[in-house]
Amino acid sequence: MSIEHSRNRIIADGAIAGILGAGAVALWFLIFDAARGHPFETPAILGAAILHGGSEALGRMSMAQLVGEYTVVHFLAFVMVGIVGALLLEAAEKEPSLN
């Protein structure tokens, strides 16, 4: 197996780990919010706060738009963290001083 193929596989594995992590957190948000009778409230609030500067966006934007925007950012962030984590683990495995 070539080094390039190996690196691509590590990046893909990190991305998959990120997607799984993001899905688990998103499912937790859904369960938590549904149990309180307000499904999708957490991603809507986080989307308003993180992407639009505050809760005033809750009044002027649809909940679907806020949830959609936040979901994209949420998954992208988790994928990036998964990839970085996978590459760091690979580097640590190859570095003799870290073994």
Q: What tens-digit pLDDT sequence spans the chain (99 residues)?
A: 567 769 999 999 999 999 999 999 999 999 999 999 999 999 999 999 999 988 788 888 999 999 999 999 999 999 999 999 999 999 888 877 766
Token pair of 77 as six digits: 């962030």
CB distance 63 to 44 below 8 Å: yes
In Å, how far are 16, 41, 78 from 21, measured between CA atoms?
9, 20, 7
Token pair of 2 as six digits: 């070539």
Residue (of 15, 19, 22) closest to 46 by Cα position: 22
CB distance 22 to 75 below 8 Å: yes
Token pair of 59 as six digits: 């009044």
